[in-house]
Amino acid sequence: MAKRTTKTAQTDEDIAENVVDIDVGLEMQNAFLEYSVSVIHSRALPDVRDGLKPVQRRILYSMSEMGLRPDRGHVKSSRVVGDVMGKYHPHGDTAIYDALVRMAQPFTMRLPLVDGHGNFGSLDDGPAASRYTEARLAPAALVMTESLDEDTVDFVPNYDDQLTQPGVLPAAYPNLLVNGVSGIAVGFATNMPPHNLVEVVGAARHLIAHPDCSLDDLMKFVPGPDLPLGGKIVGLDGIRDAYLTGKGTFRTRASARIEKVTPRKSGIVVTELPYLVGPEKVIERMKTLVQSKKLQGISDVKDLTDRKNGLRLVIEVKNGFNPEAVLEQLYKLTPMEDSFGINNVALVDGQPQTLGLKDLLRHYVEFRIDVVRRRTQFRLGKAQDQLHLVEGLLIAILDIDEVIQLIRSSDDTATARTRLMDVFDLSELQANYILELQLRRLTKFSRLELEKTRDELQRQIQELEAILGDEKLLHKTVSGELAEVAKKYGTPRRTVLLESAGNPVSTATPLEVADDPCWVLLSSTGLLARTSDAEPIPAEGPRAKHDAVIGAVRTTARGEVGLVTSRGRMIRISALELPALPPLGGAPSLSGGAPLAAYVDLPRGEEPITIVSLDPNGPGLALGTAQGVVKRVTADAPKAHDWEVISLKDGDSVVGAGQVVTGDEDLVFVTSDAQLLRFSASAVRPQGRSAGGVAGVRVGSGQRAVFFGVVDPAREAVVVTASGSSDALPGTQPGALKVTPYAEYPAKGRGTGGVRAHRFLKGEDTLVLAWVGATPVRASGAGGVAIELPEATGKRDGSGTPAPSVIAGLAAPPANARVT
C-alpha cells in the first residue's frame, strides 16, 4: 500500500501581512479619471487632424495592410473585424463591426471610406451580421492612408507592444468636416454634420493663402453642411454660431411638394427626409398622430421607395382639406422636420477642445503642412541615397576592367570591398552595391540608363530641396494636392440652404421672413436662388462658375415668379422656397443656388426658357417660337399652379420670352440662316392665353428661329451670333463668333425676313447660337464657366472671328439659355 504524504499546514506566523490603508473616495476618483481619459482618448472623440476615432483609424490601417484596395475583391467583414481586434483594437467585435458599417453607409457618410458589399443596413434597419457582408477600402480611403510608408506620421505600439500602428493617418483631405462624427465620452460629447468636399477644400486653400482671413471669408466657401441624402437646412443663424463658437443648432426639413396623386385627390409627395431619419419612423409617427386625432386630413400613406427612384412617400390628403396646411402640421408634429445640434469637440494634442470652423481648418492645415514636409524630407533622403549608389555604379562602369581584375584578385568579399573603397574612393554602400552588380548591367545601354537616372535624381533632389527651403512653395504644394483631391472625389452640393422655413403661409402660420423686396435669379445651368436684398444686380465685376444669369425678376420674399417653358407653359414658383444668397456686394454667384428640378418637374423634351414676373400690375409678356410666331400676353395670371400661355402647332416650341414694359421696346428674331428681324412691340396686340399668336418673322424652308427677345432700343445693345455646321455633332461644331452693335440693324415690318446678320465661312451653314441684348454681355461655357466675349464690331453682315474653343464650350439652342 502506497504511503500517503501529508502537507504541513501553514501557521499565521508564516504569512507576511501587507495591508495598505487606502482612502475609498480618492481611489474611486483616480480610477474614474483613468477610465474617463481612456474613453476620451481611445474610443469616443476624433482627432482633429484626420477626423477619425481610434477604432476607425485602426480599421482603415488594418484594411490597408491587408491589401483590400478598391481594385481588388471584397473579403468577409468578419475577417477584417478579426484582424483589427487581434492586432490593434482589443475590444468587442460588435463595436468594431458597427464602426466598419458606419464608414460604408452612404446615407451616413458624405464620402464613404469603406466599399461594402451586402446588406449594410438602412435608416430603419440594421446591417446583416459580419459573416454575411463583405468589404474593401473605398477610393476615398486611399488618400487617407497613402504615404504611410514615407515617415509622414509617428507610429505607436499596439496594445501588447508587439506591433506598431499610426497615431494618426496622413489624411489628404479634411475628413472631420467632410464626413462629420458623433460620439459620447465621459463629460464630453461631439456631434458634427458632414460637409461638401469641394467647399471644405476651397476654404482650406483660402486659409493657406490668407492665414488672417475672417469667418465670413471662409463661409463664402462653406455656407453650411451638406448632408449625404440632400434635404433642406432651415435657418442659417445656428450654423454661423456653430462655425464661430463650435456650438449651434439648425433644423433639417424634408423635401415635399403638392401633387395630384389621383384624378380627384391631392397629395404630398416626400422625396427627401432629414438627416438620419428613415421613412418607417415618419410613417409610424403619422399613424400614431392620426389614431390619436392630433393630425387630421390624411387618408392614406404609401411608401413607394425603391432603388431606381429613391425615396418617395405619397401622403394622400382628404377632400376638403388644404394640402399646404396639412404639410405644415406634418413639419410641426412629425420627424419630417428635425433639429441637429452641432458640438464641434475634437482632440487637439490629446486634449478635447470645442472648435469653430476656422480653428478646425487651421489645425488640419498645420497638420497637412507637417505631413508634406516630412514626406518631402523622406523622399529627399531616399533620392540622395539612390543617387549615391548610381554615382558609384557609374564609376565602376567607367573602369569596369580594373574593377573586375581587382575583385578577381581579392581573397574574399571583405578584401574586395576594402580595395574598391581605397582604389576608387567609394563608400561602403557603393562598394557593396558594386559587388552585387549583375553582369547584364555592364552594357553600353545600361550606362546610358544610369546617366539618365542620375540626371533625373538630381532634378528631383533640386525640387525637393526647393520645397523644404521655401515655406511658400511648401504651402503651394499642399494647396495643389488638396485641389487634386477635390477634383477627383468632389461632388455637387446636395443639401439646399434656406434662410427661412419656406413652408406655405397660412393664417395659422406666423411669417418667418419679412416680405421684403428681392431678386429671383435663374442661371444658365438651371440653378435658382433669391437675393437677400433688393439692390440692383451689378453688371460689372468678376464672374464665377454658375453665375451666368439668364433670368432676373424683382419681387418680394413671399412673392411668386413664373417659369416659361419651351412648350408654352407658365409654371408658378414661390420665392420663399428658394435658397437666399448672401448680400451680393458684386456680381452674383449662384453656387449656393438650388437646381430647378427641385421645384419643377418638367417632362422629357420640355426645357426652361426664362423666369418672369407674375405681378398683375406688372409688365406683359412676349413670346417667340421656332417657327417664327410671336405673341403678347397680358399680365393677369390665373390661380392655377401652371397654365398655357401660347397654343403651339405640332413641331413648334418657344425659343425665347421677355417682358414688355412700355410697348416701345423692340421684338427681335434671329433665324438659323443668319437673318435678324427687329420690329416694334406695339405692332403686336396682346391676346388671350389660349391664342396661338401672329406671324413674327418669315422662316425659310428647313430653317428655324434660334432666338427671340425683347430689347430696349434706348439702351446700348449688341448682337451675338455663333456659326457652325448642321452636320456636326452637338457641341463639336467648328465655327466663328461675332459680336455686332445692335444699332447696325434697321427695323423692319412684322412678318418679313429681316436682314443678314452673319456671313458663313467655308464649312458653315447654320447659326448654333444667337443672342441680342444690352451690354455688358458674357457667355457661359461648359459647366457654367463664364466666358468673356470680344468687343463689338461694326460689320453687320460680316463673318466672325474664328473661335473654336469658345464655340465648343457654348451649348446648343435654346440660345438665350447660355448668354446673359
Distance, in Å, from the CA atom of 519 to the CA atom of 557, rounded to the nearest integer, reads 9
**Model pLDDT, residue 377:** 95
User: 598-613: per-residue pLDDT in tens?
Assistant: 788 888 889 999 999 8
Residue 22: pLDDT band with limits 50, 70, 90: confident
> Is 240 a residue whose pLDDT tops 60?
yes
Rounded mean pLDDT, 745-763:
88
CA 333 to chain centre: 32
* Class of residue 555 by CB neighbours under 10 A (exposed 0-12, middle 13-18, buried 19+): buried
Rounded mean pLDDT, 506-512:
36
**Do the Cβ atoms of 545 and 784 come closer than 8 Å?**
yes
**Do the Cβ atoms of 713 and 667 come closer than 8 Å?**
no
More confident residue, 546 or 191: 191
Query: Do the strands 766-774 and 717-724 form a parallel or antiparallel pair, or are they unpaired?
Result: antiparallel
Distance, in Å, from the CA atom of 541 to the CA atom of 811, rounded to the nearest integer, reads 24
* Class of residue 39 by CB neighbours under 10 A (exposed 0-12, middle 13-18, buried 19+): middle
More confident residue, 775 or 59: 59
**Do the Cβ atoms of 565 and 606 come closer than 8 Å?**
yes
Q: Which amino acid is at 592?
A: G
Catalytic residue among 132, 173, 364, 433: 132
**Model pLDDT, residue 508:** 41
Q: What does pTM read for this prediction? A: 0.62
Lowest mean pLDDT, pick from 182-186, 248-252, 448-452: 182-186
Percent of the chain with pLDDT over 90: 44
| Domains of the chain, start order | 52-170 (3.90.199.10), 255-335 (3.30.1360.40), 513-817 (2.120.10.90)
CA distances from 603 to 268, 414, 565, 697 (A): 19, 83, 11, 29
**Do the Cβ atoms of 84 and 96 come closer than 8 Å?**
yes
433 is catalytic: no
* Class of residue 676 by CB neighbours under 10 A (exposed 0-12, middle 13-18, buried 19+): buried
Residue 374: pLDDT band with limits 50, 70, 90: very high
Q: Which contiguous run of DSSP H or E holds residue 369?
A: helix 357-398
**Model pLDDT, residue 397:** 80
**Model pLDDT, residue 585:** 57
**Model pLDDT, residue 805:** 28
Q: Please provide the DSSP assignment of 65-87 as one string.
A: HTT--TTS--EEHHHHHHHHHHH
**Model pLDDT, residue 441:** 67
Residue 638 neighbours by CB distance under 10 Å: 10
Residue 763: pLDDT band with limits 50, 70, 90: confident
Distance, in Å, from the CA atom of 498 to the CA atom of 232, rounded to the nearest integer, reads 7
Query: Do the strands 181-184 and 189-192 form a parallel or antiparallel pair, or are they unpaired?
Result: antiparallel
> Is 443 a residue whose pLDDT tops 80?
no
DSSP letter (8 states) at residue 130: T
Distance, in Å, from the CA atom of 291 to the CA atom of 261, rounded to the nearest integer, reads 23
Distance, in Å, from the CA atom of 772 to the CA atom of 747, rounded to the nearest integer, reads 14
Report residue 256 as a C-alpha cell. 415635399
Query: Which residues are within 8 A (CB) of 690 and not within 5 positions of it... i.e. 6 or more apart?
Result: 644, 647
User: 575-590: per-residue pLDDT in tens?
Assistant: 877 777 766 555 666 6
Pick from 38-47, 340-349, 548-557 the range whose average pLDDT is largest: 340-349
**Model pLDDT, residue 601:** 84
Lowest mean pLDDT, pick from 104-108, 161-165, 241-245, 415-419: 415-419
Residue 12: pLDDT band with limits 50, 70, 90: low
Please provide the average confidence, as pLDDT, over all residues in the chain.
83
Closest CA relative to residue 819, chosen from 549, 580, 463? 549
Residue 806: pLDDT band with limits 50, 70, 90: very low
**Model pLDDT, residue 771:** 87
> Is 4 a residue whose pLDDT tops 70?
no
Q: Which amino acid is at 640?
A: A
User: 417-437: per-residue pLDDT in tens?
Assistant: 888 888 888 888 888 888 887
Lowest mean pLDDT, pick from 16-25, 73-82, 578-587: 578-587
User: 482-497: per-residue pLDDT in tens?
Assistant: 999 999 999 999 998 8
Residue 156: pLDDT band with limits 50, 70, 90: very high
**Model pLDDT, residue 810:** 30
Distance, in Å, from the CA atom of 47 to the CA atom of 184, rounded to the nearest integer, reads 14
**Model pLDDT, residue 733:** 60
Distance, in Å, from the CA atom of 737 to the CA atom of 777, rounded to the nearest integer, reads 14
Rounded mean pLDDT, 800-814:
33
